[in-house]
Amino acid sequence: MEVLETQIEHATRFLSLFKRRCRHNGKEFDWFFSSRSKNPVSAAEKTADAVVIVSVYDDQDDLSNPCDGYKGTPKLVLTSEFRVPINAREISFPAGIIDPGQTPAEAAVRELKEETGLDLEVLIESPNLFSSAGMTDESSMYVFGKATGEASKEHLEAHEDIDVLLLDEDGLRSFDYSANATSCKAWPLIWMYMQMGFENFPNP
């Protein structure tokens, strides 16, 4: 596959549409995709656009099922957020864009505070990952950590409609995911923690 030319078709403040002219097996064709960048680069050159924050909250007020490293019952921090493109609420992890000059860890701390009111102790980060490469070059990194504090909507932006869900192992198993849209970035990890619990978080 050879990329011949990339042209911007339409630009907005946060997202742009591109047309990429390609040649494969002697035939040329156009591929349209979206990007948060005004100058898309290859995956090898690209830094992450966003962070997905996978954190376990230490509920010290609930001592019914303590695990190693936690004083109370550990609970996975999820969000229920209205997403305009799908016109529905989505169950996912807190997430957000990495601002210019920020590290993924710094962005994760900021975004968790903004979306949930909770504080984050960063433990590990994933590589830069791509979730829908057929239609966008957007990439993100998972940031794993421990969450503390008190959940709040105080720091939400005007356009954000987010509820915080703190679910222990039993809560993860009993939650009705079919009543909401569920993020493909969240479901594999939700399922994993359903099966394995939090004892070895973040390294199962």
Q: What domain count does the chain have? A: 2
Higher pLDDT, 133 or 62: 133
Residues 25 and 111 in one domain: no
- Is 42 within a domain? no
Residues 23 and 55 in one domain: no
pLDDT given at position 60:
78
Residue 77 near residue 93 (C-beta atoms within 8 A)? yes
Average pLDDT for 154-183:
93
Q: How far apart are CA 117 and CA 84, in angstroms?
A: 23
Give the pLDDT band of residue 126 (cuts 50, 70, 90).
Answer: very high
- Is 99 within a domain? yes
- Is 139 within a domain? yes
> Taking all residues of the chain, what is their mean pLDDT, rounded to a whole number?
93
| Size (the chain), residues | 204
pLDDT given at position 204:
61
Span 13-45, pLDDT tens digits: 999 999 999 999 999 999 999 999 999 999 999
Residues 100 and 16 in one domain: no
- Is 201 within a domain? no
SS3 36: coil
Residue ranges making up the domain that contains 153: 50-196
Higher pLDDT, 58 or 57: 57
- Is 43 within a domain? no
Closest CA to 171 of 59, 71, 82: 59
**Which domain CATH number covers 179?**
3.90.79.10
